[in-house]
Amino acid sequence: MGETARINFRKMTPADVTLAAKLDRRCFTKHDAWDIEWFRIAATLPSFEFIVAELDGKLIGCAGYEIEDYCAEVQSLAIDPNYRKQGIGTLLFMKMILAAVDRGAEIFLLEVRPSNVAAIKLYKNFGFEVVDRLENFYGNEDALVMRWEV
C-alpha cells in the first residue's frame, strides 16, 4: 500500500527566511516577490506572521499577513509550482486565516492581480469580495483589492 504524504503547517522561523524568499521568487515576478530582507524583517516583527507548509522537510508553501488592531492584510501566498492544484494552497490559506483570527483579526484585506485567476478563485471561495481597483498598482497591471469579514 502507498503511504499518503503528510504536510506539516507551522509558523515561519528566522531559519526559514532564505527558503521562503527563494520560493517567493519562483512563484512571482521580480516586482511581486518579497525580497529576502523583507522576510527577515517580517520574521522579527510581532505584527507579521507567516505560516509555512513542509512536505518531508521541504518548504513547499508560505503564506503571511500583517495585523494591526483587528485588521489583517494578507501579504503573500506562495505554493511551489510542483505542488499546485493539490489543495495545499487552500489548506495553507485557511491555516493563515485561523492564525490571524486567533490574534484578533476580524477584517482581512489583500491585493491581487486581475490576471491571477486561480488566486482570485481561492479568495472568493473563502468569501472575499472585490471592493476596489488600484490603477497600475503593479506597474504594468492594476490590483484588485479584496476584503472579507469574519
pLDDT in tens, 80-122: 999 999 999 999 999 999 999 999 999 999 999 999 999 999 9
Kindly report the CATH number assigned to the domain that includes residue 80: 3.40.630.30
Q: 68 catalytic, yes or no?
A: no
How many domains is the chain built from? 1
pLDDT in tens, 78-90: 999 999 999 999 9
Q: 83 catalytic, yes or no?
A: no
- Check 123, 135, 138, 141 and give the catalytic one: 123
- Check 54, 111, 138, 141 and give the catalytic one: 111
Output the pTM of the full model.
0.91
2 falls within a domain: no
Residue 19 phi/psi, 5-degree rounding, is -65, -40
CA pair distance 108, 102, nearest whole angstrom: 13
State the residue range of the domain holding 68: 7-149
